[in-house]
Amino acid sequence: MPKQQATAKQKPVHEIRLGRIKATIWGNETENGTRHNVVVSRIYKDGDEWKQTSSFDRDDLLLVAKVVDLAHTWIYEQAG
């Protein structure tokens, strides 16, 4: 693989978003097949700039649970 491709920024394999809550799913190839990791975040706008945080308030928690459940389902569906 050319060095330029090896240093290219890796992209998530899937993303799930409900309102301002997002689950980003990353695939990692191992000897035993693909392993998935999930990053959950809340997106918000600070002036003109979009930012992310891993801090959630009470009203976010049900959406966090739903997004994580959907991520879990998506990952299991990939196993075939």
Give 31-78 pLDDT, tens digit per residue. Answer: 999 999 999 999 999 999 999 999 999 999 999 999 999 999 999 999
Give CA–CA dist 62/79, Å, rounded.
27
Strand ranges, E, within the chain: 14-18, 21-30, 33-46, 49-53
pLDDT at residue 6 tops 60: no
Nearest Cα neighbor of 71 from 41, 31, 48 is: 41
Q: Provide the pLDDT confidence category of residue 79 given band limits of 50, 70 and 90.
A: confident
Domain ranges for the chain: 10-78
Average pLDDT for 11-22? 97
Q: Which residues contact 10 (CB under 8 A, 6 or more apart)?
A: 26
- Residue 1's pLDDT band (boundaries 50, 70, 90)? very low
